[in-house]
Amino acid sequence: MNDKTYYLNTFKVTECQLRKLVETALSRGGDYADLYFENTSFFNLLLKDSEVSSGGFHTDFGVGIRVLNGEKTGYAYSENTDMPDMLKAAEAASAIASGQSGRSGLHYARAGVMKLDLYPQQEDWRLSDASAFLPFLKTVEQEVLSRDSRIVKVMARLSDSVCEVLMYNSLGELAMDSRPMGSVTVTAVFRQGEATIDKSASRSFRIGAELISGALAKELAEEVTRGIDERFAAKRPKGGQMSVVMGAGASGILLHEAMGHAFEADFNRKGQSIFSDKMGTRVCPEGINVVDDGTLMNNRGAGNYDDEGVPGEKTYMVKDGILCSYLHDRISASRYGVPPTGNGRRENFRYNPIPRMRATYMESGNAEPEGIIASVKKGIYVDEFSNGQVKIGEGDFTFFVKNGFLIENGRLTAPVKDINIIGNGPEALADITAVGNDLKIDNGTWTCGKEQSVPVSCGMPTVLVNRLTVGGE
């Protein structure tokens, strides 16, 4: 939706008032000021063992006002859009950012006009028949139970939201966006003898209530019950340094955590990233491209605009093995003298925007996945990570692997569990020896928690890292 009148009426403001607020925000000096209006409705429903366990609906409404004055940032917000309260917030932001003598000379460039429509809705969540949500979750539950007699507990959750934003800044730019989100998660607990394991599957898209379907119920049920025999049979292997094959899809979380954060411009501007001095240098072999993409249709991390009113785009961080861009918000872009990349994101109007990833992935290479596995004499195949820890400055990372397989003489053999993958981001990138032709974007409920939470997604083709440390017995 791009109807200016609709958004102005939603927030009960006029264009004259927007200009007045920006003028007030800059009254004590400053290089730039912006307004971020938000009206979000949230709904969630949890089905646990065939009974409704929890559910609720709430709204979030308000405006955040920011002033940039050299290295100073002033920020304040109001949970209503009455003009007196908004003026108080603008005055507070102005006072916080004051003190810089004159203008800093920093230039905040105009961002351009949105050219994308990434998440059209067929059925607005707010107008849909909520009475259909519970039957859908019960269908998910029954689809799961019908596939494995060892299941002792099923939990199915549906959550949705529609976020309407209006953004205005001291450059005179006015941007509007309506952002839907629908998410479904199912968790099953399996018992075999004395042993129990749990497994979850989820889907999340910027889409309307057309997300709900029998096909989705079957897809989630199939995923959550797949590979359970192997999980019960899995053993903790001996550790050591060995080749690691990362499966296509969800293993992209390692790329997000261990490398993606290190490419965010605020860390690099402050010299906190291992990649701070590596712009324009080779960081991995030729032919490898690492992307942060805000333009994937209906993707959880997609954005017609970011939260500074910058149109979404596809950004190559690494092109043909060369580090060619960081991920910029308006602040870092002004410091580096480059255009913003559409990565200024915030949890809601109560927070400042900061550089954040959207959908981060490595593009496909030329290798066949089967051939990659066949090339490994001894190693580990993994495709599901959790509980990662990363040191941005040093580049070191540790990730827990829920499940995987030994690779012996080019074949997947014994299932393994409870291992850690330990390595260093730059070293791991440099040590990639094969990239599969099977890029898969994982459409789970990924959320990034850098100071504040935002929805993201990730992906990978099958990738062979020649040597990482595997923590086992």
Mean pLDDT by 10 residues, the chain (473 residues): 90 98 96 97 95 92 96 96 98 91 71 86 90 94 97 97 98 96 98 96 97 97 96 92 95 90 94 94 96 98 97 96 97 94 98 97 97 97 83 90 92 93 92 97 94 95 96 77
Q: Are residues 362 and 312 in the same domain?
A: yes
Q: What is the pLDDT of residue 59?
A: 96
Q: Amino acid letter at 76?
A: A
Q: Are residues 148 and 274 in the same domain?
A: no
Q: What is the pLDDT of residue 296?
A: 98
Range of the domain at 129: 4-232
Q: Are residues 401 and 338 in the same domain?
A: yes
Residue that has been written with the tokens 């390692």 in this structure: 254
Q: Are residues 226 and 257 in the same domain?
A: no
Contact (CB, 8 A) for 78 and 37: no
Q: Phi then psi for 21, rounded to 5 degrees?
A: -65, -45
Q: Are residues 34 and 55 in the same domain?
A: yes
Q: Are residues 121 and 87 in the same domain?
A: yes
Among the candidates 210, 232, 254, a domain finishes at 232
Among the candidates 176, 199, 232, a domain finishes at 232
Sign of CA dihedral 421, 426, 430, 433: positive
Tell me the C-alpha distance between 269 and 406, whole Å: 41
Q: Which residues of 286-302 are buried (b: 16+ CB within 10 A; e: fewer)?
A: eebbbbbbbbbebbbbb
Q: Are residues 212 and 265 in the same domain?
A: no
Among the candidates 179, 205, 232, a domain finishes at 232
Tell me the C-alpha distance between 207 and 182, whole Å: 6
Q: Are residues 88 and 224 in the same domain?
A: yes
Tell me the C-alpha distance between 159 and 214, whole Å: 17
Q: Which residues of 7-17 are buried (b: 16+ CB within 10 A; e: fewer)?
A: bbebbebeeeb
Q: What is the pLDDT of residue 100?
A: 62
Provide the domain count of the chain.
2
Q: Are residues 250 and 227 in the same domain?
A: no
Other beta carbons within 10 angstroms of residue 84's beta carbon come to 8
Q: Which residues of 325-349 are buried (b: 16+ CB within 10 A; e: fewer)?
A: bbbbbbbbbbebeeebbbbbbbbbb
**CA-based Rg of the chain, rounded to a whole angstrom?**
24
Contact (CB, 8 A) for 437 and 427: no
- CATH number, domain containing residue 20: 3.30.2290.10
Q: Are residues 272 and 335 in the same domain?
A: yes
Q: Are residues 168 and 272 in the same domain?
A: no
Q: Are residues 377 and 323 in the same domain?
A: yes
Q: What share of the chain is helix, strand, coil (3-state, %, to 5)?
A: 20, 40, 35
Helix (H) or strand (E) holding 46: strand 32-48
